Structure 1
């Protein structure tokens, strides 16, 4: 193929869990000399391998995978921090003449990497002063103050916490909080490929996937992470499967019950993922079961890409 990797777009493979994103990303990486950049927020954690369906290194076909295993289960990150790391990884991959392929189903994280999306900072002193003012002056007075500097935000929000946040952002940046609202505009030329298919088949896949995780040792993995601080962090212990099997460790549930609860929760999560990605009209959907899936995806990657301003 004559098209060089540097001329190709940033590729994002998105969709619900269990739809085959990892495999398609590997195939595209092999075809286009690419590297994978993880956008599954639970695969950030070291040791959370079975329950997150993390692709083992020996199954990655020599394709580098970035932004995996950089957090302990005690730690947390933010979408803003991920945005910085993801864009640095994208730039690094491109600097070596490779195609960056973002892959994962964590919708907000994927969007933070792909779109013009700013995250204004915070200042504890400013936040505390505004909270004290809210307590003394009342919500109506704070809303009136917000209306004077940011009528768009004032018309959208009504609870004290969000009013304080909007005022904090204005005080720190001099810009209205509404100016930071996300827009569907890519930072760079991008192709988003979404995988979807028959819903009954997805349910079957997810059930089989959870059952395989259990037979592969999910309970032992959960138990082994407790001394590492699984219960101590704000996020890791809430992951699908981990919260259910922690109850098995505690003796308040059974493997059978935890397995069924995880299957149900995973189906619900997949539904939310589809809702999120379906709301983005730029995603180009393919059926995971179509015989020419790889060729169809490769054609999308190779087509003339829309730039950031055209997306």
Structure 2
């Protein structure tokens, strides 16, 4: 039996093999089933132009002629907005389907994936309110602002790291604009984009090893030089981009706060922690079918995506 669903989603932690598998699946769908695919990025840091090595962004010559979307769409000084991504990526998928093609969504940014696929609503924003709150962060410190949030909405605060300035400010902004506590623990939401969702996983020891290999390869490929160039282009003023894994560690080294070797080791440890948070996020989505990277084949995933 075939299915009318025309979107496949590949998720999982960093370094689990999503990008390479997406290319293999696209080729199988094209060669064995006559289905042309286009790939939609769902990694929030791959949205940024110039952030290539540190995000393991697939180079143009590696894309095997497959059209990729939502890559290199932001300058490093712009904020990566989930609501903006939601509207833009949904429009991209609509256009892919209108061309009669199949969409493959690939990424590990859980909030962006869920916002794209499910009925997630976003309260409005007010730049003046946000600027005022950011000024208060500078004046009073993030700890005091977090305590303010905890006093106003304890449940919301419990789901936000006390050091996450962006989310603390956003939560306080929502409270000020709506008078209601923001939703920071996401419930199961009804789907908006019908999709087949596949989660990739592997043994944690193996994943940790692959993360270390990836970070070491980043340094070998000139990651420090990439960060230095982006710094000259305004990376430090990019509220979202400057906090990306690896980039914030190298920025610290470029200011002589740590050595480059320490930055490299710190990136490995931070990426491993991030991978565990990714796994925890995606495990909450009951719509995801989990498979082992080493035991699944592109042919099997392609057939599953087509309902065969």
Superposition TM-score, scaled by structure 1 size: 0.79
Cα pair distance change 1:167/1:293, threshold 3 Å: same
Aligned counterpart, 1:116: 119
1:156-200 residue CA offsets vs partner (Å, 9 max, x unmatched): 6699996883574379xxxx988xx75421113211110001111
Residues in 1 aligned to 2:193 and 2:77: alpha-carbon distance in whole angstroms? 34
**Distance (whole Å) between structure 1 residues aligned to residue 256 and residue 117 of structure 2:** 43
Q: Match of 1:14?
A: 11
| 8 Å contact kept, 2:43–2:109 | yes
Give RMSD over aligned pairs.
Answer: 3.0
Matches within 5 A, 1:88-167: 88-123=91-126, 165=174
| Mapped pair 1:279 → 2:288 | no
- Give the TM-score taking structure 2 as reference length: 0.79
Partner of 2:148: none
Q: For the structure 1 residues 220 and 8, does the alpha-carbon distance in structure 2 shift closer, same or farther, using more than 3 Å as the test? A: same
Aligned to 2:62: 59
Report which of the two structures shows the higher radius of gyration computed on alpha carbons.
1
Q: CA deviation at 1:154?
A: 8.7
Q: Deviations over 1:232-277 (max 9, x none)?
A: 1101111111111112222232222111100000000000000000
Quote the residue 1:132 is aligned against: none
Partners of 2:103 and 2:201 in 1: CA distance: 22
Q: Secondary structure at the match of 2:66?
A: coil
CA contact (8 A) 1:230 1:236 kept: yes
The residue number in structure 2 matching 1:243 is 248
Alignment of 1:1-311 (within 5 A): 7-30=4-27, 31=29, 32-123=35-126, 165=174, 168-169=177-178, 183-290=188-295, 292-303=296-307
Q: Which aligned segments of 4 or more residues in structure 1 are displaced greater than 4 angstroms?
A: 123-128, 153-164
Further displaced range: 254-263 or 194-203: 254-263
* Deviation of the 1:302 alpha carbon: 1.6
How many corresponding residue pairs? 271
Aligned-partner Cα distance in 1 for 2:37–2:202: 26
Q: Is the 8 A contact 2:12 2:282 kept in 1?
A: yes
| Contact 1:16–1:270 (Cα < 8 Å) also in 2 | yes
8 A contact 1:240–1:266 mirrored in 2:
yes
- Residue 66 of structure 1: CA displacement? 0.4
User: Is 1:193–1:283's contact at 8 Å kept on the other side of the alignment?
Assistant: yes
Separation in 1, partners of 2:196, 2:209: 29
Q: Structure 2, unaligned stretches of length 5 or more?
A: 30-34, 132-151, 159-167
Unaligned runs of 5+ in 1: 129-152, 305-311
